[in-house]
Amino acid sequence: MQEKIQKIPLYIRQARRKQSLTTILTAFFIVVQIIWVGLPIFMAVLWSLVDPDHPWSFPSILPEKLSLAQWVYVFKYTNIVRALKTSYMLAPCAVALSFLLGLPTAYVLGRKQIRGKKFFETIVLLPMIMPGMVVALFLSRVFTAFGLAQNFFGLVLAHTLMALPYMIRLLATSFEAIPQDIIDAAENLGANTFVKIKDIFLPMIRPGLLAGIIFAFTTSIEEFNLTFVIGTPTFETIPTILYSFLGYNFIRTNASVVALIMMIPNIILLFIVEDLLKFDYLSASLGKL
Amino acid sequence: MKEKNYSPIDYVLLIPGIGFIVVFIASSIIITITQSFGLLSVTGKSQFTIENWKAIFHDKESLDSVLFSLKMGVLSSLGTLIFAFPLALFLRKSGPGKRFLGSLIKIPQFIPALVAAFLIINLISYHGIINEALLALGIIKEPLRMLNDKFGWGVVVIQIWKNTPFVLLILSGSLASIHDDIIDAARNLGAGSFSVLFRIFIPLSMPGILISMILMFIKAFGDFAITSVAGPIYPPSIALRMRNTATLFQEWDKAAVLGVIIILTTLLITWLYSRLAEFVVGEK
């Protein structure tokens, strides 16, 4: 037995030891992450299921009785349904508009060596870099002057502004990734502009477009500053409703329900698109100023 | 070098996207600046004055807010880096279970900031699960005040929880661009894990480290929502003070001064970043 082990060369033993260490570390990190991410979500689920007649308070570790009463209450007596409608109507509009506005810009930034390219790339990131509340507060003056405050179209414009950096940067990266050879070859074989768009550009920018849509969508769903200043009280979105539950009158159980309503679609989206979504795209497109 | 492959039409194509952003961002910046000098005023008459600037600079409460926000910016960016860098390093090489780990880590990226704030509030509140657990284990006698604490640790924890995936994403990108050859070469020449970390991984991923820290700093420095639900009662963050000055006290001109201070700090930090990046990478 002893001899057998010694016959295995040293470097293989070292490699094996390293591999098992990696496996142990992976398992360790997974456990830590499950607690780090899972526990807060689990607590919110518990809070949202507390029965109003059997309050969950100090000494008891778990709620005495679970019920859906809080969910019913939130849907019946708060503005949540209207806020959901507003949020999920705003997001597709903002995604569509940011796509239409961003596509030509992304094409040029991705494919052309124009002068001042770096400058324009930085400009694109401005809505992400500029402090949200400053932009919101003083842009609201402009919006008020043009009658766009407390107005659905104004909110669409505001959300488009916040979604554009993701849309343009991600589309530009995927335009950039198309090898010029393919386009040249297609041209040699007599492809016209329409064929080039249909058979080269569209299929090849699809991963970037998908990532752009997802990021623009989630940005719009969670946008708070601009909506809060420009939209409330006429328009409430899910974030502004959550803020009202957290701020003036802190109602933990109601807030739990709203938090879960806001969070669950996003997490499902993440797992659905995980395979389709190339995260390399994100670091490539956002990892530079 | 690629030859010139563009025409004036390409600049026209930039207009829909770039123009949209410039119109909105520029108009908000211009209004902030002019209003801080008393021009384009909503309340009262419009005339040039530096009184608002004087008033803010002599106001100790405003100074407290600026310092508090600076502190939050620095601690949040350092904190996320400390959490994200080891994970990014560990995930650089694929292995069994690492894909799953990767998706677990990404979850907070898709949780809106306010929801993240609420989730963590539940844990760290006075009778939250962490205090209860520590009490039950006999480690502490009185529950700790971690939420709305004077220092602002609650805010820092929320920022770290929410933004670690974002920073990890950027760091993974720069770590992935380091070739294995360099590491193998260093190891062959006798470099230990420490030298590889400090002389290869950290310097070569420095652009990613810097930009993620900048973006984190800006986010935490200009934060409104998280600080207003989890931050200390005094001082408010500078964005919170600005908003209250404008909408509660209707002193838009003074709010504009605070706005300019936020913008200037952001620009200054971004400029410092680009200088640092030039210095580290050696590129112009």
CB contact under 8 A, A243 and B176: no
A125 chain-B contacts, CB cut-off 8 A = none
**b vs e for B1-35, b when ≥16 Cβ sit within 10 Å of the residue's Cβ?**
eeeeeeeeebbebbebbbebbeebbebbbebbbbb
In this prediction, residue B2 carries a pLDDT of 47
Binning pLDDT at 50, 70 and 90, where does residue A179 land?
confident
Distance from CA of A168 to the nearest CA of B (A): 8
CB contact under 8 A, B161 and A284: no
A232 shares contact with chain B (CB less than 8 Å)? no
Q: Which of these, B111, B23, B216, B257, lies nearest to A129 by C-alpha position? A: B216
Q: What is the length of chain A?
A: 289
CB contact under 8 A, B21 and A256: no
CB contact under 8 A, A47 and B18: no
B 184-243 residues with CB below 8 A of A? 207-208, 211, 214-215, 218, 221-222, 224-225, 228-229, 239-240, 242-243
In this prediction, residue A3 carries a pLDDT of 54
pTM metric for this prediction: 0.85
Average pLDDT value for residue range B47-65:
81
Among A113, A243, A283, whose Cβ lies nearest the Cβ of B114?
A: A243
**Residue among B9, B10, B11, B24 with most chain A CBs within 10 A, to mutate:** B24
Angstrom distance (rounded) from CA A91 to CA A159 = 8
Mean predicted lDDT score pLDDT of chain B: 84
**Does the pLDDT value for residue B195 go beyond 50?**
yes
CB contact under 8 A, B20 and A135: no
In this prediction, residue A156 carries a pLDDT of 95
Domain count, chain B: 1
What's the CATH code of the domain at B92?
A: 1.10.3720.10
B 102-161 residues with CB below 8 A of A? 103-115, 117-123, 127, 129, 132, 161
A25 chain-B contacts, CB cut-off 8 A = 90
CB B63 within 8 A of CB B74: no
In this prediction, residue A161 carries a pLDDT of 96
Binning pLDDT at 50, 70 and 90, where does residue A153 land?
very high
Binning pLDDT at 50, 70 and 90, where does residue B155 land?
very high
DSSP annotation of B191 reads: -
**Does the pLDDT value for residue B284 go beyond 50?**
no
Per the structure, the complete domain to which residue B217 belongs is given by 59-281
Higher pLDDT, A108 or B253: A108
Q: Which residues contact A20 (CB under 8 A, 6 or more apart)?
A: none
DSSP annotation of A61 reads: S
Binning pLDDT at 50, 70 and 90, where does residue B229 land?
confident
Its ipTM equals 0.83
Q: Which residues contact A19 (CB under 8 A, 6 or more apart)?
A: none
Pick from A62-76, A135-149, A231-245: least confident: A62-76
B 30-59 residues with CB below 8 A of A? 31-32, 35, 40, 42
B109 chain-A contacts, CB cut-off 8 A = 270
* Superfamily the domain A79-286 falls into: MetI-like (1.10.3720.10)
3-state class of A151 per DSSP?
coil
**Does the pLDDT value for residue A33 go beyond 70?**
yes
Angstrom distance (rounded) from CA A143 to CA B119 = 33
Distance from CA of A3 to the nearest CA of B (A): 29
Residues B209-223 pLDDT 10s: 888 888 899 889 989
Residues A180-194 pLDDT 10s: 888 888 888 888 888
Among B13, B103, B110, whose Cβ lies nearest the Cβ of A105?
A: B13
A107 chain-B contacts, CB cut-off 8 A = 13
Distance of CA A216 to the CA centre of its chain: 7
A276 shares contact with chain B (CB less than 8 Å)? no
CB A288 within 8 A of CB B171: no
CB contact under 8 A, B270 and A39: no
Among A130, A135, A246, whose Cβ lies nearest the Cβ of B118?
A: A246
Binning pLDDT at 50, 70 and 90, where does residue B45 land?
low
Q: Which of these, B168, B24, B28, B184, lies nearest to B84 by C-alpha position? A: B168
Q: Which of these, B32, B54, B20, B94, lies nearest to B222 by C-alpha position? A: B32
CB contact under 8 A, A134 and B110: no
